[in-house]
Amino acid sequence: MVNFGIVGFGLHAVKRLMPGFARAKNCRVTALSRRDAQKADASAKQFAIPQAFTSVEELCQSREVDAVFVTSPNSLHHRDVLMAIRCGKSVLCEKPLAMNAGEALEMVEAANKAKVLLGVAQVFRFCKSVNRIRELISEVGQPQLARCDFSFFAPPDHARTWLNDRTVAGGGPVADVGVHCIDTLRYVLQDEVIRVNAMGSKDDRSGDVESSAILTLEFSRGTLATVAVSFRAEYHTTVEVRGHNGALVCDKGLTVDRPVHVQLWRDNKIVQDEQMSNELAYAYQVDEFAAAVEGKAKFRAAGFAGWQNQLILDAAYRSIESGQAVDVPQVASPK
């Protein structure tokens, strides 16, 4: 049994992580940290978590913690991950891994040097729908077009008060949910993005980040993909891949709250329709990380994947600013 400490225990931990841990088979939460001592104690009591801290360092030094799950605001990921690594703990970090590729590289290198595991919580790699599309990808022939969209309406009083603050969030929906779309496309296509062309829009309450954006991604084997993201459109996700022999379509494909359908289309007809649930994605994610910590499995979203995603995000933001396509650096995957 692997014991996790959660850094930055907030809404995401309450809504997604703790229900996932409750259904996990090989890990549990034994510690949490929040800046407010009263809130930390209250959260620990609510979820029967033995240890509550206001200090990230104290949590990372606890003998009751085997692995650290960093869920603090994006601007703190770099600091908190490096703290966990210095304390000799394997660490799973929420997406996006960092504020920029330079920070991500430091985190990857620090984990490699310390010989601890670094993972990024790209949870949709653990969705049955996403993995089914990956399994069926050859059915469409060579993928020519793909898309992955993610939108949700963020009201002015959104719980994440820093959502429109670039210094904390690193960006708008491109960084927040676009990274999920980018990672999902990389994962199902098993290919790498070599060029990005992006455009974004702002409104009167988006601060210094974009409120909506569209990205065009060029993959190394020729697939062209689009990613549409927004904080101003109603909730929607979709994953789609099209080739000369058919199409794979999953409406609401990155949804964990209700069953979804993975459909194989040929000649404008549905020839295969499979219903499945992604409800265990968060449990699968922490159980696989726990198994990797124990040396029993390979974690499918290693820190390297987060670093490559960050290079793509950085290129997307340079493209939005310049109005030009931007090449994405490719880094060699560690053995």
pLDDT tens string, the chain, 335 residues long: the values are 999 999 999 999 999 999 999 999 999 999 999 999 999 999 999 999 999 999 999 999 999 999 999 999 999 999 999 999 999 999 999 999 999 999 999 999 999 999 999 999 999 999 999 999 999 999 999 999 999 999 999 998 888 888 899 999 999 999 999 999 999 999 999 999 999 999 999 999 999 999 999 999 999 999 999 999 999 999 999 999 999 999 999 999 999 999 999 999 999 999 999 999 999 999 999 999 999 999 999 999 999 999 999 999 999 999 999 999 999 999 866 65
CA angle 115/120/121 to nearest 5° reads: 140
Kindly state whether residues 92 and 209 are assigned to the same domain.
no
Angle subtended at Cα 139 by Cα 138 and Cα 141, rounded to the nearest 5 degrees: 65
Same domain, 51 and 113: yes
pLDDT score recorded for residue 133 = 98
Confirm whether 335 is domain-assigned: no
Q: Is residue 26 in some structural domain?
A: yes
Please state, in angstroms and as integers, the Cα–Cα distance from residue 59 to each residue in 91, 92, 98, 171, following that order.
12, 14, 21, 28
104 and 26 assigned to the same domain: yes
Q: Quick one: pLDDT at residue 333?
A: 65
Query: In angstroms, what is the C-alpha Rg of the chain?
Result: 19
Q: Are residues 106 and 208 in the same domain?
A: no
**266 shares a domain with 154:** yes
Assign residue 320 the CATH number of its domain. Answer: 3.30.360.10
DSSP at 57: H
Rounded Cα distance between 227 and 146, Å, is 9
- Nearest-10 Cα torsion for 150, 151, 152, 155: 140
Asked whether residue 163 falls in the same domain as residue 233, the answer is yes
CATH number, domain with residue 117: 3.40.50.720
Range 253-259, long-range pairs (CB < 8 A, 24+ positions): 253/127, 253/129, 253/130, 253/133, 253/148, 254/124, 254/127, 254/129, 254/130, 254/148, 254/150, 254/180, 254/181, 254/184, 254/278, 256/16, 256/123, 256/127, 256/281, 256/282
Question: Does 145 map to a domain?
Answer: yes
pLDDT score at 160? 85
Q: Which domain holds residue 316?
A: 128-277+311-327
What's residue 71's pLDDT?
98
Does residue 259 belong to any structural domain of this protein?
yes
Q: Are residues 15 and 112 in the same domain?
A: yes
Phi then psi for residue 264, to 5 deg, are -105, 120
Spell out the residues 6+ positions from residue 193 whose beta carbon is closer than 8 angstroms to its own: 182, 185, 186, 217, 218, 219, 220, 312, 328
Question: Cβ-count burial of 105 within 10 angstroms (0-12 exposed, 13-18 middle, 19+ buried)?
Answer: middle
pLDDT score of 122: 98
**Do 218 and 139 meet the contact criterion of CB atoms below 8 Å apart?**
no
DSSP state letter for 16: I
* pLDDT number for residue 334: 60
215 and 171 within one domain: yes
| Same domain (yes/no): 27, 89 | yes
pLDDT of residue 335: 53
Residues 7, 97 share a domain: yes
Question: Which three-class secondary structure state does DSSP give residue 321?
Answer: helix
Confirm whether 214 is domain-assigned.
yes
- Within a domain: 332: no
Q: Are 285 and 20 in contact (CB under 8 A)?
A: yes
Asked if the structure places residue 11 within a domain, the reply is yes
* Residue 254 one-letter amino acid: L
What total of structural domains would you count in the chain?
Answer: 2
Query: Domain check: are 235 and 264 in the same one?
Result: yes
Q: Is residue 333 part of a domain?
A: no
Same structural domain, 168 and 75: no
pTM attached to this predicted model: 0.96
